[in-house]
Structure 1
Amino acid sequence: MLSMICVDVDGTLVGTGNVVLPEVWEALAQARTAGIRIVLCSGRPAVGRALDYARRLDPDGWHIFQNGASIVKVDTGESRSEELPHDLLTGLIEKARASNRILEVYTDREYAVEDTSRVSVAHADLLGVPFKPRDLLSLGGTVVRAQWLIPHAEKEALLAEAHTGLQLHPASSPVMPDTLFVSVTRDGVNKGSAVTRVAGFYGFELNRVMMVGDGHNDVTALQVVGYPVSMGNADKEARAASKYHVGDVDAGGLVEAVALAMRE
């Protein structure tokens, strides 16, 4: 068996109905019982549904949130997260207010958004948290990430803009197909860097680790593991970075990936 399976959420664990199929839960539970560490590896923060998923997958384990900016041990709340420098954060906020684009700002456990449009409301529902708009500079803890919510048509324009000192992670969700989520972390902070750190916490070699994903923001993690797996609904970047390919999320493709991990 492999030592560790890292699992993306939107488009991998969770499909178009914003639910996890029962057979997927069963397969992952069997893998954990067999001794494989299961690591949530998501762009979502450690709140609401994502936190519930992590606790169910591996209740005393380390999990990766916010595209690698948050690494949290969910039973104790211990954090090994990466701060987003304040000067870079204020630059993003100035840009958001000038452009009228939706920007969210995150600590490990909280987030702020000033926009009150249906997109922001729908995203709070997707995360499984109450919608409470607040000033982007009002968070009390350490800010680790920001995130743009834009129409897909604006992707190339946003990615072409200068984000000095920052790394952008475009991703989508089958639950909100009209919205592109572009996560922003400090340069060098991504799912790949976080998977490498978590494998180190456990003492695992990366060549015995699997990453299962479907999006551009999964590529850095797919590139560092020995078993990179893309879902049937994956975008071209994730498919190109993968050695193995399984079925669509709504067809339970993740079950195939778990079976592969248990026989290797």
Structure 2
Amino acid sequence: MADRSKSPDGVLSAPLSPRHVAIIMDGNGRWAAERGLPRAAGHKAGVEAVRRTVKAAIELSIPCLTLYSFSSENWSRPRDEIDYLMGLMKRFIRGDLAELHQNNVKILVIGERSDIDQEMLALIDEACDLTRDNTRLTLTIAFNYGARNEITRAAQRLAEDVAAGRLSPSEITVDHFRLALDTGDLPDPDMLIRTSGERRLSNFLLWQSAYTELVFLDAYWPDFGRELLIEAITQYNSRERRFGGLPSRSTA
């Protein structure tokens, strides 16, 4: 079990960081409602939490950070809220891309590209192309994303390979399927955090999270940052990951 240790000045250092942290950013609307503010204010504050979290991930040497920004089910929200969220995403890319690139952050965007307007697609492609060779942090944005849709699209890709004679059904392995997913180039998440007190995955990284440690925090997403990230990592480090086996120190 890893733990925090004291630095020479007596301050607790951050715990050892996992390789890949995924986050369901939940609670923007409730954060705003509790303050008598419109939902848009919560979403705007949520963007600031994204900036704090990316900065903290870099400082804590986390190689991969995946954020659930807009689900395929979110299209059922009111049109004005959707338009505001799309505008926030565009402004984030335009306003933060240069700094992210300067900080050696690689950007990936996963999810279904249908229903996304051409301006947004162009911005996404620009961000991914500009940062493709960066190595300090891989920031993956799950946008218009749903895990069931992702798994279905992966199955369709493999079916196309079978139909074209490039692969036989008996040759399909877990690794084939993993590589066909949107996250094929990423390690599976070691830890998945959900804010706002909700305790469900909400169609996020269902395949990839088979052995992921789940951490549920009561704080709303706009209040998230370095301190809460360290709290979650501390929880993660207190657990013993067995992947279906026995602990290594066990004599059973």
Normalised to the residue count of structure 2, the TM-score between the two structures is 0.38
More strand by proportion, 1 or 2? Answer: 1
Q: Which is higher, the Rg of structure 1 or of structure 2?
A: 2
Normalised to the residue count of structure 1, the TM-score between the two structures is 0.36
Q: Which has the higher contact order (CA 8 A, sep 6+)?
A: 2
